[in-house]
Amino acid sequence: MDSMITTAKTAPSLQDLAAQALDLARRQGASAAEVNTGLGAGLSVTVRKGEVETVEHHRDKSLSITVFFGERSGSASTADFRPQALSEAVMAACAIARHTAADPYNGLADPAHLARDIPDLDLHHPWPLSMEEAIDLARRCEDAAFATDPRIRNSEGASITTHDGTDVYATSDGFLGTVRASRHGISCAVLGEDGNGSMQRDYDYAAVRDPRDLPAPEEVGRSAARRTIRRLGARQIKTCQVPVLYEAQVARSLVSHLVSAISGPSLYRRSSFLLDSVGSALFPAWVHLYEEPHRKKAMGSAPFDGEGVETRYRDLVTDGVLRRYCLDSYAARKLGLVTTANAGGVHNLMVAPGQEDLTGLLRQMGRGLFVTELIGFGINGVTGDYSRGAAGFWVEGGEIVYPVEEITIASNLRDMYKGLVAVGRDVDARHNVCTGSWLLERMTVAGG
C-alpha cells in the first residue's frame, strides 16, 4: 500500500481553522489571541533481524489557543477540529483567563518585530515512500550492520521514518504564518557480544529535510555496528581528574545547558547559574556561538519564532563573551529587554568549528577520557553543578586504548565552559544545536 502523505490540500483549511478560533475568541470578549495549529502525517517502519517488526502510520493534528483579556491569559488545546470541539477549546481558554492573575507583561509580540516576508527555507521535501520501499531500506541498513562484524549478534532493529507537516501561527493582530516542513530519518541500533557473554549496544542515525540528502542505509548500519563493536570489553577506571573529550553528539548537550541557563524563565525566576552574565567572558576568547535560523534545509531552521517574531542571524557568544540572552516577548518585557526571537527555543545554534578533526583532538588531549555517551540527569541549573553517568574510551598518547563504562564525570558548568580547550571541525548537523567535539581541560571521573 502506498503511504498517504499529502498535506497540500490541508494548508488552507488550517488557516481557516485558525481564523475561526481567533474569531470565536474575539466574540467571547478576548482583547487578543494567538493560535498554533498543525497537521502532519508520517510513516515509520522498523525491521529487526531481517523481519518487519512494526509499521506505524502517524497522523497528528493539534490546535492550541491562548487568549488575553487585558493582562489576564488562559490557554487550551484540542486534537479535535470539529466546530463544537473548537468552540469548547476557546471557551475553556477564556474560562481559565477569568481566574488567572493580571500580568502586565502578558500579550502578543510587538508588531514591529513580526516577520513580514516569510522566506522559503527549503524545508519541505515530501518522500513518496511506500511501505515496501521503507521495509527494503530498513532491511539493507540492518543487514549491513550484521555483515560488518561477526560479533554483532543481535539487534534492536533498523528504522525508516518520514514525516510531513504544516504548521500555522496566527494572531488577532493579523499575523498569519505557515510553515511546511518534512523530516526523514534512518536509524539502526545493534548489539555486540564479546567472548565473556557481556553485551554492548550502540546506534547511529541520519536526520534530514530532503530524502535525497540521506546517506545510503548501509552506511548508517555499518557505523552503528562499528560504534557497538568498539565498546566491547568496557571496564571501569579508577577515580581521577583528567582532560575529557566530548564527542560532537554529546557535546551538544553542553550547549543546551547553556541555552537553558540564559533563557527567560531561568533568568526572571533567578534560578540560573548564569544570572547577569551578559558581557562576561564565559568561554576562552576564541569561542564563537551564533544562531543562523535561515540556513536552507537545516533541521533547526525557521522563518519566524513561536510568536511570529522575525528570526535572523544573531551572535550569542563572541570573543568568549556572552552577548545576549535567549528570550521570548514575555521574558524580554519582564527583564526590560527586547525579544531575541527565541520563543520556542533556538534555531540552528552553531558553535564555530575549530581546526582539528576528532583524531587531532584525541592527539591534543594526549591522556584522558573520550566520552561518547551520557546517561542520567545530574545537572543542577541553579548552581551549575554537573555529574552524569558516562561511557567512552580511555586515551593514552593520543590513541584510544580501551573502552570505559560505569563511571561518572563531574564538575561545574561554569568551570567546564571556562576550561574549553578546543572545538572540533567534526560538526554534527543533525539537530538545531550544531557543534563539533569539545575538549575540556579537566573533570573529576569517578570509578572503582
Partner 1 sequence: MTTETFHNRNLDRAREALLTPAGIGTGEIDQVMGRMLGHQIDYADLYFQYSRQESWSLEEGQVKSGNRHIEQGVGVRAIAGEKTGFAYSDEIILPALLDAATAARAIARDGREQTAAVATRDGGALSLYQPLDPLLSLDDTAKVALLERVEQEARRLDPRVTQVMASLGGSQETILVVRSDGVMAADVRPLVRLNVTVIVEQDGRREHGTSGGGGRTDYGYFLTEERALSYAREAVRQALVNLEASPAPAGAMQVVLGPGWPGILLHEAIGHGLEGDFNRKGTSAFAGRLGDKIAADTCTVVDDGTLPGRRGSLNIDDEGTPTQSTILIERGVLRGYIQDRMNARLMGMAPTGNGRRESYAHLPMPRMTNTYMLAGQTPPEEIIASVKKGLYAVNFGGGQVDITSGKFVFSASEAYLIENGRIGRPVRGATIIGNGPDVLTRVAMVGNDLALDSGVGTCGKDGQSVPVGVGQPTLRIDGMTVGGTEE
Residue 200 sits in the site that holds partner 1 (CB under 8 A) = yes
Helix locations, 396-443, DSSP H: 413-418
The sheet with strand 349-351 has its strands ordered as: 321-322, 314-318, 289-291, 349-351, 433-434
Cα four-point dihedral sign 375, 377, 381, 387 = negative
> Least CB distance from residue 293 to partner 1, whole Å?
26
Q: Segment 128-167, which members bind partner 1 (CB under 8 A)?
A: 131, 154, 156
Phi, psi of 148 (to 5 degrees): -70, -40
C-alpha distances in angstroms, 360 versus 242, 303, 357? 18, 37, 5
Of 246, 386, 394, 438, the one binding partner 1 by CB under 8 A: 386
- Identify residue 201 by its one-letter amino acid code: R
Rounded distance between C-alpha atoms, residue 30 and residue 28, angstroms: 6
Rounded distance between C-alpha atoms, residue 47 and residue 50, angstroms: 6
- The residue range among 20-28, 144-152, 410-418, 431-439 that interacts with partner 1, by the rule CB under 8 A, is 410-418
Instruction: Report the residue number, 27 or 49, with the smaller CB distance to partner 1.
Output: 49
Residue 367 sits in the site that holds partner 1 (CB under 8 A) = no
- The residue range among 99-107, 215-223, 346-354, 356-364 that interacts with partner 1, by the rule CB under 8 A, is 99-107
Residue 327 sits in the site that holds partner 1 (CB under 8 A) = no
Contact 191, 199 (CB under 8 A): yes
Distance of alpha carbon 14 from its chain centroid, rounded?
Answer: 25
Instruction: Report the residue number, 268 or 290, with the smaller CB distance to partner 1.
Output: 268
Rounded distance between C-alpha atoms, residue 394 and residue 375, angstroms: 18
Instruction: Report the residue number, 165 or 436, with the smaller CB distance to partner 1.
Output: 165
Among 316, 328, 349, smallest CA distance to 433 is for: 349
Q: Segment 29-88, which members bind partner 1 (CB under 8 A)?
A: 48, 51-61, 73-80, 85, 88
Q: How many residues bind partner 1 (CB under 8 A)?
A: 79
Instruction: Report the residue number, 305 or 405, with the smaller CB distance to partner 1.
Output: 405
Of 409, 413, 420, 433, the one binding partner 1 by CB under 8 A: 409
Instruction: Report the residue number, 97 or 254, with the smaller CB distance to partner 1.
Output: 97
Residue 98 sits in the site that holds partner 1 (CB under 8 A) = yes
Rounded distance between C-alpha atoms, residue 416 and residue 254, angstroms: 9
**The C-alpha cell that represents 372 in the structure block:** 561518547
Of 147, 285, 382, 401, the one binding partner 1 by CB under 8 A: 382
**∠239-243-246 over CA atoms, to 5°?**
105
Residue 412 sits in the site that holds partner 1 (CB under 8 A) = yes
Residue 377 sits in the site that holds partner 1 (CB under 8 A) = yes
Q: Segment 228-257, which members bind partner 1 (CB under 8 A)?
A: 231, 234, 236, 239-241
Task: Provide the Cα torsion 249, 184, 61, 18; round to 10°.
Answer: 90
- The residue range among 319-327, 358-366, 408-416, 432-440 that interacts with partner 1, by the rule CB under 8 A, is 408-416
Instruction: Report the residue number, 24 or 445, with the smaller CB distance to partner 1.
Output: 445
Instruction: Report the residue number, 364 or 412, with the smaller CB distance to partner 1.
Output: 412
Rounded distance between C-alpha atoms, residue 23 and residue 7, angstroms: 24
Residue 267 sits in the site that holds partner 1 (CB under 8 A) = no
Contact 225, 152 (CB under 8 A): yes
Instruction: Report the residue number, 6 or 241, with the smaller CB distance to partner 1.
Output: 241
- Sketch the per residue contact string, 301 through 320, with partner 1: x for CB under 8 A, - otherwise: --------------------
